[in-house]
Structure 1
């Protein structure tokens, strides 16, 4: 399960890195790792601040009866 998550994040990071760095560049792996870490940090930040984000945009949770 963890391997699948890492593979998805690294694939997305490779695509994003490919926009800015040539694949044959010696620093491609380093830049890809930095982009993947930024993606993980962004995902965790969205998860942590999700209630605040939803309340900021006017989403009101209905109370349970």
Structure 2
């Protein structure tokens, strides 16, 4: 199940890494891993710090107090 979450992130990291360096470069795996870590940290940070105010704005619904 975690494979479903990581495979798209790894694919995106592979595309981004391929823009920067050649895929047959010895450092390609390292660059891809660094980009994957940056993407995961960004996604976790966005999920952790998503303000409720943005959710209200996006859905058009207000919280009941």
State the TM bucket, normalised to the shorter chain.
0.7 to 0.9
> Against the structure 1 CA distance between its residues 33 and 53, is the aligned structure 2 distance closer, same or farther, given a 3 Å change threshold?
farther
Number of residue equivalences:
63
* Structure-to-structure mapping, 1:1-12, within 5 angstroms: 1-12=1-12
Consecutive unaligned residues of structure 1, counting only runs of 5 or more, are: none
RMSD: 2.5
Residue aligning to 2:48: 48
Output the TM-score relative to the length of structure 2: 0.80
Larger relative contact order, structure 1 or 2 (CA cutoff 8 Å, min sep 6):
1
Any idea what the Cα deviations from partners look like across 1:3-50, whole Å, max 9, x if unmatched?
A: 121211110100011110100100000000000000000001111111
| Separation of aligned partners in 2, 1:26 and 1:41 | 25
| Separation of aligned partners in 2, 1:10 and 1:34 | 11
Consecutive unaligned residues of structure 2, counting only runs of 5 or more, are: none
